[in-house]
Structure 1
Amino acid sequence: MSRKKVVVLGGSSGIGKAIAERFAKEGWLVIIASSDQSKLDAAYPGLAGSGHEAIQLDIRDDARLANFVSHVRAQHADFDVLINSIGVSEHLPVLEADFAQWDNALQVMLYGTVKSCRALLPYIKQGGRVIHITSIHHERVEKGSSAYGMAKAAITQFTRSLALELAPKNILANTIAPGFIDTPMSVDCHGQSELETAWFHDNYVKYDHLPLKRAGKPEEVAGVAYFLAGPDASYVTGSVVTVDGGLTVTF
């Protein structure tokens, strides 16, 4: 039986890194991509087994994406699962922020997702899986996160469109919507994690707005991704799987 292969975009940090590690642990060949070479160098040794690859890729650069796809085709021919966990989080006011800076979230997350799918999905195996990491922001609003929320909402709708168009090939497309997850994206420019602030404790722990009273672990999202890639999810497509400790069911 041939070894299964997964491409994890954004696989050098946070949720993407945990996903890559889970698939490697389960015996898959893992190809991780990230724009940050230093993070790739740090993440690669954590992949159990052999034969994995870590490739630098700025998803905004069409030439680099084309080279990445050519490399994957040349070295691996095809693959089983595409996971897109590339994300940027910047709090920017929609009216006052520099437009290019505000627009970066859409260029990276929305158009990066669309471009990577258009480039890579012609080489996914029949019966393959596409898994995008969105966020509870795809249906909720936070001040200063308009671009982030818009990108995540669009990714959700794009995934549903993929589910319809890829169904004839039995390729399933789903998205995972995490809530508060303890990753480097939770840390601000001053080195302070929002998960350790009085604001987080008062809003989400003290007054029960977060029923499980804690942030999630990247590994808990990775487990859901592995489920969606496996045989037990064979009748799941076009779905959003929320992993938020119950946050979105409260007032």
Structure 2
Amino acid sequence: MPEQNRIAIVTGGSRGLGRATVLALAARGVSSVFTYNSNRAEADKVVALAEAAGVRAASLPLDVGRIASFGDFAGRLRHVLAEWGTDRFDYLVNNAGISHHNSIETTTQDEFDALYDVHFKGVFFLTQTLLPLIRDGGRIVNVSSGLTRIIFPGSAAYAAMKGAVEVLTKYLAKELGPRRIAVNVVAPGAVATDFSGGMVRDNPAVNKQVAEMTALGRVGLPDDIGPMIAALLSEDNRWINAQRIEVSGGLSI
């Protein structure tokens, strides 16, 4: 199937890396249904930008930490796909997430459970829910973090969830192999977005520290990540499977 006829599902597509991914896919002719948590206005902007690139786009609200809502979400997704004349999609990007900064000593069970629901349980069960809708020969990308390799105190709970996703990715690749569905992990380094309250983007000291730790001499930008994910989903990279690909400019090497 030509890439121009393909459809991606991207969680957390109204901002940051998800937004960059939706727009990078649009530049390649790939249509997207993406999710947003609460900011409908920003989601509408992304839809307009994607449509201006000549593809179809739609946004659906979803809290990826509310696993009980996934069945309803799948029903609404089926409705969008039917409007587009199909009952399947090609690519799934599990991107949506929340930040967390706290020591092991002081992390609460509520904080831990919220991270678990969004970053691991949500990824596991949303993927499970959508497997009947993914076309055989499709692709899945799970977004992890450079923090599974690079140790920053205060990130243990968050990084542990991302580490679990990296293991899950290998199992998905193996179990979905008979359907020719490739599954990979993209692990961004520190990126200048509003994630973590815009810490990397807006705090000059943090920005400088990360730049000095990075071989290419600067922090990452959303457009360093979105196009890479779009390229990984394409037929150009059809033989990459079960891999963790860090996109960090050479952070802490």
- TM-score exceeds 0.5: yes
Question: For 1:46, which of 46, 49, 68 is the aligned residue?
Answer: 49
Does 80-89 or 25-34 show the bigger shift? 25-34
Give the match for residue 59 of structure 1.
64
Does 152-161 or 55-64 show the bigger shift? 55-64
Matching of residue 168 in structure 1 with residue 173 in structure 2: no
Unaligned runs of 5+ in 2: 82-86
Matching of residue 153 in structure 1 with residue 168 in structure 2: no
**In the TM superposition, what whole-angstrom CA distance separates every residue of 1:182-219 from its partner, at most 9, and x where no partner exists?**
1111535xxx5466432442x444xx521111011111
Q: How does 1:1-251 map to 2 (within 5 A)?
A: 3-38=5-40, 39-47=42-50, 48-76=53-81, 77-188=87-198, 193=200, 196-201=203-208, 203-205=209-211, 208-249=212-253
Query: Could you say if the C-alpha distance between residues 199 and 27 of structure 1 is closer, same or farther in structure 2, counting changes exceeding 3 Å?
Result: closer
> Structure 1 CA distance, aligned partners of 2:45 and 2:102?
30
> Structure 1 CA distance, aligned partners of 2:173 and 2:123?
14
Query: Aligned-pair distance for 1:247?
Result: 1.0
Runs of 4+ that moved beyond 6 A: none
Residue type at the aligned position of 1:226: A
Query: Aligned-pair distance for 1:236?
Result: 0.5
Does 37-46 or 212-221 show the bigger shift? 37-46
Question: Match of 2:176, SS?
Answer: helix
Query: Aligned-pair distance for 1:50?
Result: 4.7
CA contact (8 A) 1:59 1:108 kept: yes
**Quick one: percent identity of the two aligned structures?**
27
Residue type at the aligned position of 1:73: R
CA RMSD in angstroms comes to 1.9
Query: Could you say if the C-alpha distance between residues 204 and 219 of structure 1 is closer, same or farther in structure 2, counting changes exceeding 3 Å?
Result: closer
Query: Could you say if the C-alpha distance between residues 131 and 149 of structure 1 is closer, same or farther in structure 2, counting changes exceeding 3 Å?
Result: same
With the length of structure 2 as denominator, give the TM-score of the two structures. Answer: 0.89
Residue type at the aligned position of 1:221: I
**In the TM superposition, what whole-angstrom CA distance separates every residue of 1:67-113 from its partner, at most 9, and x where no partner exists?**
11112223321100000111111212223233112321111011111
Unaligned runs of 5+ in 1: none
> Structure 2 CA distance, aligned partners of 1:20 and 1:204?
26
| Corresponding pairs, count | 243
Residue type at the aligned position of 1:247: L
With the length of structure 1 as denominator, give the TM-score of the two structures. Answer: 0.89
Query: Could you say if the C-alpha distance between residues 44 and 138 of structure 1 is closer, same or farther in structure 2, counting changes exceeding 3 Å?
Result: same
CA contact (8 A) 2:169 2:185 kept: yes
CA contact (8 A) 1:139 1:153 kept: no
> Structure 2 CA distance, aligned partners of 1:200 and 1:75?
40
CA contact (8 A) 2:191 2:200 kept: no
> Structure 2 CA distance, aligned partners of 1:204 and 1:27?
34
> Structure 1 CA distance, aligned partners of 2:207 and 2:31?
38
